[in-house]
Amino acid sequence: MDVSMLDAAGKAFVLMFNPWTLLMLSCGVLMGLVLGILPGIGGLAGTALLLPFTFSMDPIAAMALLLGLASTTATGDPIPAILFGVPGGAGSAATVLDGLPMAKRGEASRALSAAYMSSMMGGVFGAFLMAICIPILRPVMLYIGSPELLAFSVLGISFVATLSGKAPLRGLGAAALGIMIAMIGSDPQTGTLRYTLDTLYLWEGAPLVPIVLGLFALPELADLAIARTAISGDMTKTDRQGMWQGARDCFENWWLVIRCSWLGAALGAIPGIGGAVVDWLAYGHAVRTEKGASQTFGRGDVRGVIASESANNSREGGALVPTVAFGVPGSAGMAILLGAFMIHGLVPGPDMLSKNLHITYSMVWSVALANVLGAGLCYAFSTQFARLATLRYTLIMPSVLGIIYIGAFQGTRNWGDLWTLLIFGVFGWTMKQLKWPRPPLILGLVLGDIIERYMFISIQRYGVEWFARPLVIVLFAVSIYGLMRPLIQDVRKEGGVMKMLSGYGTFNFQKHNWFHIFVIGVISVMLFEASRWNWHAKIVPVIVGSIGLVICIVALLNEVARKPMLATAGGGQADEKIHMDLESDTGHLPPSTVAFRGAIFFGWLLAFMGSMAVIGLLPTVPIFVLLYMRLEGPEPWKLVIPQAAGLTVFIWVVFDKLLTIPWPQTYMGIWFPILKNYIPSV
């Protein structure tokens, strides 16, 4: 870093401590934390809302406001993830795997503290990397083309083997299904409509937010309603001692924080690799590299929280690199930031690294200071947050469900988002009950479309020559090894391929195997549908679907015909691997009771949606709170009425007045104007 860069960094640091700039940064931080806590809302809506307010600001104050919000949304995300198992955003889904088990055993404070501290350290480290890398990474990033981006995406898919835990075949089958779901929509090459079910809603693909909330949020709430208990009944560890312990955990695992922060910042700098996949890749990296991770991760290991959150927060610093240096947004939030650039006459590229270098470094300081300030605010209220885990399920369920429905509706702001939430909620709950790993499905869903897009671009631009690019060769080799590693380990343990193939006996088909049949049926139908498309539209779905179909069939054979001493829950071999997902807390209940209470829970969701369809979301909220708390509890009226009124006012003020979010269309909204034209008195 030369003298001019140091001067620019020092000048930017002084400018950041202007009272007005600090006030704007603080406002952005506060709003980012609130939006992070609200499941599914995210910082995109808030960034778009704040953009018009920056018209009259100076560039440094404007960037401080916008980056303060963008940098701390991820800091608030782990709060609902740890306390309720509800990801605040797609980027905190991996935090649920270890954060929620810690909350259940009374260590909510420790988990929250570790999340805050690792988020702060990761964010600051990501900003530091941006500061030193922007000048030197220009030639490197100019070298990276679509072949390298494709190879990075394939490397991400190879982490499916790690995230599948002790059920590698189930995980690979789920990943294949996720990639097939990613193919939904208009084919970018030919315009062919794929798997749209003749609905306009699916033309642009399946929305990620409702799917993530359905797969990870609703199953945890369903289990909470089925068990009919609080998340944690132990308050002995939800105190200041837990807060200190969580902070110490981060410093004791400082090398893990640095590695995952570097990984998050590096992946954040790659356009298209969003936050929904960064935390899973960091989590998979930690599983592979941390001592004893195979026995403890997924069961409440604080290192799992540290890994995912440090990567999740550092990606904003990485996403700024292509945005500032090339004008290529590294994320959706950065795309809005480019709008702010144009408003203030800033041109991404060489000018941002020369005459406007001090503004560039003011962004670096904004990201770093925002993370420090955001973590401090979270620590101030963390003890109160931790106590939420001890509340009865009837007190927290109505409010959380109401916010989830609003968050899911932000996918495309279409009624289809709410049906997607419900469908994947049932699907995710079934996967959890039957111990199918859910992370591979999300990984396939996020990366599937990216892989297809970059593959066609690479072929059209480079032909077959792109296979010979050095970085592509290295990344493909690592990816193939990562995918084949579980199979190689199993073959070695069995003493060879022939002994492994001889380990089959008589068929023993059980009820839970029907879910396997269902997945095989879904993939088969999608394959049949794809066979009628033209070559460019069907090549990827046919290849992925065929591989997924074979994997699922082999996994089913392993379950129904494998000799008992060799069989495992997911078609792999008995070893030290763990189930890389949350395990259900309803195992102590009879299956009939679980099924009955599960039907009641999803019945409440259907009733919620039915009322929304008739009278609207806002009027439905108080009715739902009143009925749920009285019928499920019953809770006293002195708690029911204030909660119903308070939640309704909160939703009306925040989402209707501040964020101006449109509500789902209702039958009353459709028919009332029509009737008014025919009945003058209406």
Q: Which two tokens stand for residue 210?
A: 């409702």
The identity of residue 136, as a single letter, is: I
Q: How does pLDDT run across 475-514, given as a tens digit for each residue?
A: 888 888 877 777 776 667 666 556 656 666 667 778 888 8
pLDDT of residue 334: 75
Average pLDDT in the 415-429 region?
Answer: 92
Name which of 127-141, 201-215, 540-554 the model is least confident about.
127-141
Given a contact cutoff of 8 angstroms between Cβ atoms, the answer to whether 490 and 500 are in contact is: yes
Of 36-40, 378-382, 405-409, 554-558, the least confident: 36-40
Rounded Cα gap, residues 611 and 624, in angstroms: 9
Q: What are residue 88's phi and psi, to 5 degrees?
A: -65, -30
* pLDDT category of residue 579 using cuts at 50, 70 and 90: low
Q: pLDDT grade, residue 94 (50/70/90)?
A: confident
User: CA angle, corner 446, sides to 443 and 450, nearest 5?
Assistant: 120
Neighbours of 536 (CB within 10 A): 14
Distance CA 423, CA 152 (A): 31
Sign of CA dihedral 423, 429, 430, 436: positive
Least confident span in 46-50, 68-72, 290-294: 46-50
Q: How far apart are the first and last CA of the chain?
A: 72
DSSP string, 113-138: HHHHHHHHHHHHHHHHHHHHHHHHHH
Decide if pLDDT at 620 tops 50.
Answer: yes
Mean pLDDT of 4-26: 84
Q: How confident is the model at residue 572 (pLDDT cuts 50, 70, 90)?
A: very low
Provide the 8-state DSSP code for 274.
-
- The full set of domain ranges for the chain reads 3-484, 495-575, 591-678
Q: Is the pLDDT of residue 131 over 50?
A: yes
* Average pLDDT for the chain: 81
Highest mean pLDDT among 135-139, 480-484, 528-532: 528-532
What the block records as the tokens of 161 is 């083997």
Reported as a pLDDT band with limits 50, 70 and 90, residue 420 is: very high
Query: Which of 4-8, 32-36, 232-236 has the lowest average pLDDT?
Result: 232-236
pLDDT at position 580 is 66
Q: What is the mean pLDDT of residues 651-656?
A: 84
Q: Name 4's Cβ contacts closer than 8 Å, sequence gap at least 6.
A: 357
Contacts of 398 by beta carbon, 8 Å cutoff, 6+ apart: 624, 625, 628, 629, 643, 644, 647
Confidence check: pLDDT of 540 > 80: yes
